Amino acid sequence: MQFHPFVQWDGAYYINYFRDSDWQSVFHPGYSIFIELARLIIPDGVRAAQIVSVVAGSLLPIPLYILARHFLKPSLSLLAVIVVVCNPLIVRFGAMTMTESLFIFVEVSLFAAFLKNRPFLFGILGGLGYLIRPEGIMPVIILIVYSLLKNKSRAPLLVTIGSLLLVTVPYIIYLKIQTGNWTLSAKTMNLRVWERDWHINVSDEASDTPSHSFRDRIESGLKHYPARFLEYSEKLIVYAGIPVLVLGLIGMIKYPSILLAAMPMLLLLPIFGLDPSERFLVPYVPFLILFAFFLLASWKSTLLRTAAVLILIVGYLPTATYAVTPEEGITEFCTAGTHMKSRTNSSDIFVDRKPFTAFYAGGRYLPMPNDPVDSILAFCRKNRARYLVISARVVRVFRPQLNYLLYSDTVLNRLNLKTAYVRDLDSGYGVRIIEVSR
């Protein structure tokens, strides 16, 4: 936790989810529910969110061992658990304000409950996985269909469906009220036109960018699928390690099992208009490792199996430091927000490209359009925003038109704008917060 002291982008929304509806956005409430429970003991939202991740990561070995024991001997099951929890991705997200750690714990527990014939628990965990991340519903549906085709008795299936609906229906009804449509997630916005050239994506942040039709988004996803698939594959090679990936894929082919139900979403990820990120891959790492151990279990030589386990762990060495590498490029925003907290009301709106300053100041966040300066100022006034946050890091790459507002007091005086906070402009990573007159 000491290496990841600040909130992550999504974490800002999850921590404030039940405190201010303006922070809900398209995120699901599952992680936020556990954060609120943790805040009964730990008032600080960031620390509470981290504790949820730490506890989930710390408890992961229990359902993981139970799951592994369904297929493997005790010694190999224990080794599989060790290889999983030593993965740098698993360690990193076990201390961050993100959903990954909790989601992995729930998903692994879901498969353990299914294989142990606990239909009520399976349904509850399936619903909880969906509330944490929308893709959590996919393995549940696959396993329910599998049960429908495999089993003659319908009673356990009805128990599963009943408990699943008990958890999911209230949120689905809430989405209907909020969006006006029946949908499983507001995150369908991630199915979007997203170019590989980031300059095009930044230009699309302008307020007058036309919205794309559903067909356009599907076509864009399919068009970029091969390139994104390769990018995800490269990240999987790096962060899971070549030994895990190779042995896991061979194990998956030679010894297929019901655990394959955890993997289809991995193949669908490249369709979505998202920058390929290692965090989208981490939920599949434990299952890849289990498949690798299915292969190892078929080897008769104990020496060979031991050597393979060591090689799996050695494969993590190139990314070992990633576990303790803090999120880059957010420190100055968090510092600025902390400084502003004493003078910020919960209704104050911060226009920024990043949510961190608004989060730490205790205000509200409104994304900054990629418009000319006059239009951005008009946007602030139209939305009754009190502050405009301008940082050197953002100006340098994403909003060069704001350069003069960041560095020139003369321009600010001419525009009748007042500086509420300014720091470290000479460092190249400074922040200026401008109070926008209404």
378-398: pLDDT as tens digits: 999 999 999 999 999 999 999
Predicted model pTM:
0.94
- Average pLDDT of every residue of the chain: 93
pLDDT of residue 6: 93
Q: Within 10 A of 265 (CB to CB), how many other CB atoms are there?
A: 18
Q: Within 10 A of 398 (CB to CB), how many other CB atoms are there?
A: 19
Joined tokens for residue 27: 């995120």
Joined tokens for residue 378: 């008009």
Listed as ranges, residues in the chain with pLDDT below 70 are: 152, 189-190
CA distance 417 to 409: 9
pLDDT of residue 39: 97
For CATH 3.40.190, the residue range(s) in the chain are: 331-435
The answer to whether domain 331-435 has CATH 3.30.1490 is no
- Whose tokens are 């010694």? That residue is 75
pLDDT of residue 189: 67
Q: What are phi and psi of 350, to 5 degrees?
A: -105, 120
Q: What are phi and psi of 406, to 5 degrees?
A: -75, -45
CA distance 370 to 204: 8
CA distance 436 to 430: 19
